[in-house]
Structure 1
Amino acid sequence: MQSAASSRPFVGVVLVIGSCLSLPFGAAVAAQLFPVLGPWGATSLRIVIAALLLLVIVRPRPRRWSRPQWVAAVLFGVSLAVMNGFFYAAIDRIPLGPAVAIEFLGPLVLAAVLTRRLTDALWVGVALAGMALLGIDGLIGAEPLDPLGVLFILIAAGFWIMYIRMSARVGALIPGADGLAIGLLVASVLLLPVGVPASITVAAAPDLLLLAAITAVLSSVIPYAFELAALRRLPQRVFGVLLSLEPAFATLAGWLMLGQDATALRMLAVALVIAASVGTTLGIRHERGPFTAPVPLPD
């Protein structure tokens, strides 16, 4: 019978896969809000709804938090606000699949920095090759990628690194989902200037509110809760490479829900990042000794 300790990596992998499945389909739903609310308005509304849902469900009690706990939660909220805002601004200009693949450069860089084993480095290289193919496809394909959209997604990639680091920090310092609830609240406040006009628009269109609620659950509540739990079970380097599954699911979501084409070169790139994820997952089993916890940040 498998022990609780040995099952922790497997549970972490399942949680990451669940997050990778949920996020792109939430983004595909959110894209339907862009013509009315704009990408930043949709971001704000989604984060506000997610924050309200978690505050009601979790009922966090931060009064007794220490200074390091507050700093971690606030920085976590900053990463959520900026990462999501620029991600939505990017997918308003470029297809969902390539956008997520380019954004994955953030976790890929983090995985490369934290990697200590040769096999992990090789899988990072495979994922990087996939990203390179996506870049080539964006330049020479029938629909070249919008340069401003690429810039936006690169900014989101940088804050994705911050999100992973701070999510691990919050998971280590704050029990349960209290840190996630407060982090989303902080992000909501930061996005308030673009959120007020969106809220006024939605007040007169209940159908938009339903889409925003679905987006909040699929793109915030489910994936962030799953990733927070996963980072309590997986090293950040493994977590970063496993996220390479997300471009594959994003390509699928873009094709099914938004009618976005998937070229042969793009599909090959997606296959490479899937291979990197599978290879990294299988490599977990060969690690010796107790499973490595996420690397804490200095106070």
Structure 2
Amino acid sequence: MVSVNAGAAWAKGLFPLVGSEGVTAVRVGLAAVLMLAIVRPWRTLPARRDAFNLLVYGLMLGCMNLLIYGAFARIPIGVAVAIEVVGPLAVVVLSSRRARDFAWVALAAFGLWLLAPFHDGVPPLDPLGVLYALGAAFCWAMYIVFGKRVSGMNGSQAVAWGLLAAALFTVPVGVFHAGAGLLAPAVLMGGLAVAVLSSALPYSLEMAALARLPQRVFGILVSAGPAFAALAGYLVLGERLTGMQWLAIVLVVVACGGAAATARRVGGSTRKSDLPT
């Protein structure tokens, strides 16, 4: 969580150079190159039935990164991530449809309502930034759905193929917006740091954590994402949130953690599709 959110804050610092689209292209493109070099997924080609799901999985991954970076460029990182986690919570509700899960979503919705600018002491948010964060929430939900469908494959291979599909979508978008600026040494070096911090390193740490922790515990820990994002925005970028915004983030964190803690168990273990991660 520290790694991925430090990478997000670092990425926002690169936006003035090539825009959020350019930083997304460099991050996803370099992360794909790293994963392809390490995993070499072409040694075992995916089955035909997995190809479509891998393509959609990768496209959702690419769109999610483009949209959330677009949100980061316009609203505080912690607020954007708090909005984005609505997507995984929606997956929880649609996969179980229990009253308890609707209660967690209602708590998260109340937290997001507190972010509305008509409350005293709450600064206005860029409407386009909020829309981008909501779009990223939808893509995150679809990323989980299609990630579950390819979960029968080797995990590293699925991620490598997914990142390749994401790069084939995001890199042309970045080139269109930033052009040759993407090749500037400062952008490439900064993008490499973001690719390692926000993709290669956290993916590897997640695999190690999942091998040692119950998925329920893992989901609860990862639910602290909005709080980590807000801290990274404050420490790296100097983004200061109001007390109301912090309260909203805490409510969203509690809702995500509660949804993970009460996710249904199948065969004695939490179903991965039920987790808000």
TM over 0.5: yes
Give yes or no for the alignment of 1:259 onto 2:238: yes
Counterpart AA for 2:145: R
Kept in 2: contact 1:77–1:187 (CA 8 A) = yes
SS of residue matched to 2:269: coil
SS of residue matched to 1:191: helix
- In structure 2, relative to structure 1, the CA distance for the partners of 1:110 and 1:280 (3 Å cut) is closer
User: How is 1:26-105 mapped onto 2 (pairs within 5 angstroms)?
Assistant: 26-61=7-42, 64-105=45-86
Q: Write out per-residue CA displacement over residues 101-138 of structure 1, whole angstroms, 9 at most, x where no aligned residue.
A: 1111111222222235444443333333222223x258
User: How is 1:92-171 mapped onto 2 (pairs within 5 angstroms)?
Assistant: 92-134=73-115, 136=116, 141=121, 143-171=123-151
Q: What RMSD, in angstroms, separates the aligned Cα atoms of the two structures? A: 3.0
SS of residue matched to 2:108: helix
Give yes or no for the alignment of 1:182 onto 2:147: no
Deviation at 1:93, TM superposition (A): 1.0
Give yes or no for the alignment of 1:293 onto 2:274: no
How many residues matched?
A: 270
Give yes or no for the alignment of 1:208 onto 2:167: no
Kept in 2: contact 1:180–1:225 (CA 8 A) = no
Q: Write out per-residue CA displacement over residues 58-90 of structure 1, whole angstroms, 9 at most, x where no aligned residue.
A: 111265421122112111110011111111111
TM-score normalised according to structure 1 size: 0.79
Deviation at 1:91, TM superposition (A): 1.2
CA distance in 1, matches of 2:34, 2:78: 28
Unpaired runs of 5+ in structure 1? 1-19
Deviation at 1:266, TM superposition (A): 1.4
Kept in 2: contact 1:37–1:201 (CA 8 A) = yes
CA distance in 1, matches of 2:195, 2:122: 33
CA distance in 1, matches of 2:87, 2:118: 18
Say which of 137, 156, 170 aligns to 1:191.
170
Deviation at 1:280, TM superposition (A): 4.2
Aligned to 1:23: 4
After superposing the two structures, state which structure 1 stretch, 47-56 or 117-126, moved more.
Answer: 117-126
- In structure 2, relative to structure 1, the CA distance for the partners of 1:110 and 1:168 (3 Å cut) is same
After superposing the two structures, state which structure 1 stretch, 186-195 or 36-45, moved more.
Answer: 186-195
CA distance in 1, matches of 2:239, 2:132: 20
CA distance in 1, matches of 2:40, 2:196: 17
CA distance in 2, matches of 1:165, 1:281: 16
- In structure 2, relative to structure 1, the CA distance for the partners of 1:279 and 1:190 (3 Å cut) is closer
Kept in 1: contact 2:92–2:259 (CA 8 A) = no
CA distance in 2, matches of 1:287, 1:106: 21
Kept in 1: contact 2:39–2:157 (CA 8 A) = yes
Counterpart AA for 1:220: S
Say which of 226, 247, 267 aligns to 1:268.
247
CA distance in 2, matches of 1:149, 1:192: 21
- In structure 2, relative to structure 1, the CA distance for the partners of 1:59 and 1:122 (3 Å cut) is same
